[in-house]
Amino acid sequence: MKSIVLLIGLIAGIVTVKAEDGSELWLRGNQLNQTAGLFSSISGDKHQIAFEEFQQGLIKMNSRELAFSNNVADKGLLIATTKNAQIKKLGLAKDLKGLGREAYLIKTISQRGKKFTVVTATKPEGLLYGAYHLLRLVQTGQAIGNLNIVEKPSYDLRILNHWDNLDGTVERGYAGYSIWKWDELPAVISPRYKEYARANASVGINATVLNNVNASPEILTQEYISKVKAIATQLRPFNIRVFLSINFSTPRVLGNLPDADPSRPEVREWWKKKVAAIYKEIPDFGGFLVKANSEGLPGPMDYGRTHVDGANMLAEALKPFNGLLMWRAFVYEPGDDRAKLAYKEFIDFDGMFADNVIIQVKNGPIDFQPREPFSPLFGAMKHTPLMPELQITQEYLGHSNHLVYLSPMWKEVLDADTYAFGKGSTVAKVTDGSLITTRVSAIAGVANIGEDTNWTGHHFAQANWYAFGRLAWNHQLSSETIAREWLTLTFDSAAPDLMDMMLTSHAAAVDYMMPLGLHHIFAWNHHYGPEPWCDVPGARPDWLPRYYHNASEKGIGFDRTTTGSNAVSQYYSPLKEQFNDPETCPDEFILWFHHLPWDYSMKSGKSLWDELCYRYDRGVQQVREFQKIWDRNESLVDPQRFREVQSKLKIQSKDAMWWKDAIILYFQTYSKMPVPYSIERPVHELEELKLIKLDMIHHN
């Protein structure tokens, strides 16, 4: 145990660092009596879960329960919906008019020389989010003496996509087996289901897809529907609706039909009966997520039908129950430049989908790469609701070994201007209902959650779950604000150097993995380490790194200009012109859009080869700096989490050097140019690196 000086909060004092394992996430509170003097009593709707959650949060922080009182006295707290008699007297309902079920108001009221705080909303779900907001203010030490906050979410549906399989494995999961214990359900209910719900609700997440997009038809058997019902019962009090991923061939597999052709009345009828059976068990069931005709999965195109035919058939079955159909745009049949394929597949269907269909689009046009330009589908489909799909789990960013705070990457995409409706038509605005009319606006994140004690495999990976929820609730928040909140809640300290480490970690990862627009040069089977030389006989070209880097003696990069694949033309002006010219194309994407000679003069004045080498070295040095930052903050962190993060940073530092040496030594065989003498020399041999094989297989 060590004594430290607390750097944040309402008080500063000497505290004892307790041993922690990360299981409480950002909801751990502290034992610092921060709330002493803030509230003298608590009043409101005691039966509301918002009231209970706030009370429990105060107990964690204050080690005592506040007295309940029907009289809101000086420094009191009132938590109730607008139906509450005391709230009605205050006339606050007008401030929430037209803002929806999830909006809330937090306000300091002054009456007869006394002040008290009110948290109110028109519906219980809004009240829950308001209670968590006030708890967050208290826990992060923000002033609460003069509050006037009204908030509603940026997106209606803020959803986690679990890629969890029915056998307990998790595709692209790096934190252990699934938290869903299908073999035990419905008889045994894990206490983690409620903790999961609480964590999500605390950051505004209101929906979850329980199973993998590579779905098994078995999930729709009556046996599994009963299991899903049990989970839904645990999540419902926290305003979390359950969705399921489905396999398009399910009527053929479970219904003994000859096929799953969406044009056949028997198939349509089968889906209607199945959907009705689900809603009978789970009245607030959210709907379906579908991956179809992608990476070998079945879909309507198997029968000569279109995505519209398949999606609208399912939407028809869901509509009487107010269900939503989320249809993924991650479809890339062999042929043209893969970066163009989702756009080509869907653009001609704009305006043809049913109004309860929303197209789920990955943030970039390829596949969750460390950095991609935004998908050109955003804004292009002006008559079809689209929802961004972000990846919280770090499939291409070091799994659970690398500290990579993803909010800056997501903000880069959400704030990117599509120019679809003129200047200012950001990805966020074309998906949140601001510019394109939508029945339901939505955003999805592929979860990084598993049964590991700390939930995410890396203590700092919790920040990405947290950041997704906060951005889904309010996409205008800054990455800095979110990082400060999370650090303060999780470690009791938002020390400036810890903030800097988080905020620069994504750029560092891009530098030591694939700078300047390089992409998809990962190892074939695990997407963890570098393998630009990879060649698998019989594999599709667009599953191999050479397809993307195109390295030769002449240069490197993918030509997507008007004289190449012409992917630039899928973007609106002035972006397509900007991307088309290497002189104006941002350095971050220059090798994404251009194949350039090794001696091409970059904006920095360096040759392309030298710039590439310097970027890789910069990434390595940055990760080593992270180690220094973490070590000098040892006194601020409990011993267990300090050691565990320290160990992960050692792995990340070694991996960064592995990446740097593998890429530079391999591409040097083409460039024939020396590594700049001012940067650190490679410490590996190329042939040695080519022999590395990791047993970390996760299916695509």
Distance CA 54, CA 137 (A): 12
CA gap 593, 436 in Å, rounded = 28
Question: Pairing between strand 14-16 and 3-5?
Answer: antiparallel
Helices (H), 31-118: 49-62, 85-90
**Which member of 65, 167, 184, 295 is catalytic?**
295
The per-residue b/e assignment along 517-547, b for 16 or more CB within 10 angstroms, e otherwise, is bbbbbbbebbbbbbbbbbeeeeeeebebbeb
Q: Which residues pair with 242 in a beta bridge?
A: 208
- Residue 34 phi, psi (nearest 5): -60, -30
End-to-end CA distance of the chain: 45
**Phi, psi for 53 (deg, rounded to 5):** -65, -40
**CA proximity to 356, closest of 382, 384, 380, 378:** 384
* CB crowding 484-494: b at 16 or more within 10 Å, else e: bbbbbbbbbbb
Torsion sign over Cα 366, 367, 369, 374: positive
Give, to the nearest 10 degrees, the angle between helix 496-513 and helix 639-671.
30
Q: How far apart are CA 355 and CA 181, in angstroms?
A: 35
Catalytic residue check, 295: yes
Catalytic-labelled residue, pool 20, 125, 261, 367: 367
Q: Which residues contact 193 (CB under 8 A, 6 or more apart)?
A: 179, 231, 234, 235
Rounded distance between C-alpha atoms, residue 485 and residue 468, angstroms:
13
Whether 395 is catalytic: yes
**Cα 666 from Cα 651, distance rounded (Å):** 22
**Catalytic residue positions?**
295, 367, 395
